[in-house]
Amino acid sequence: MRVGIALGSNLGDRMANLRGARQAIAGLVGNKNLVVSPVYETEPINCEPGAQKFLNAVLEIDYDGDPTELLEHMIRIEESLGRKRDHDHTASPGYGVAGSVSRKIDIDLLYADELAVTNEQLQLPHPRMHLRRFVLQPLAEIRPELVLPDQTKTVRQLLAELKDSATVIRFAENW
């Protein structure tokens, strides 16, 4: 199945963090059929005061296993790259679902073909991705005609109709 994965970083060497995540994911699934978006720089949204800008990208991979198992692999990759879970928004008062905190690396599963998953660890497709320009913009670069399982419009259409005012600037084409 084709699986979309979002990467984000706003601490340390942001580009090296994204590259490390991409390389670890490629090492897990192989480089065959790995599709990589350009990297975009975005303003932090609902983050702690003084947060640095994020770099964001989207990958698409072939994966034949269980998506919940893939999520577990992504969590291990995050931790191997220095993500500290005790600083995540789920543990930070005032940030919750709508907010975030700075992090060295963030890896989110976005979709797995037309599969819909809801369990304690994972929800696919990602429940808020259609509202996030920093996800839709890079995704539109690699899968503009994709229609997500819970949507009727393509990624390109969702991006065009997005009402937020977030600034998303292309940062790097080849990384």
pTM (2 d.p.): 0.89
Give the pLDDT score at 169: 94
What pLDDT band is residue 89 in, cutting at 50, 70 and 90? Answer: very low
Give the pLDDT score at 85: 63
C-alpha distances out from residue 165 to 35, 56, 161, Å: 27, 17, 12
Question: In total, how many domains does the chain have?
Answer: 1
Asked if pLDDT for residue 86 goes beyond 60, the answer is: no
Which helix (DSSP H) or strand (DSSP E) does residue 2 occupy?
A: strand 2-9
User: What phi and psi, each to the nearest 5 degrees, are found at residue 61?
Assistant: -130, 165
Give the pLDDT score at 96: 34
Q: How far is it, in rounded angstroms, from Cα 3 to Cα 25?
A: 12
Q: How far is it, in rounded angstroms, from Cα 50 to Cα 135?
A: 22
Give the pLDDT score at 31: 75
Range of the domain at 98: 2-172
Cα dihedral across residues 30, 123, 131, 9: positive or negative: negative
Q: How far is it, in rounded angstroms, from Cα 104 to Cα 155?
A: 27
CATH of the domain at 108: 3.30.70.560
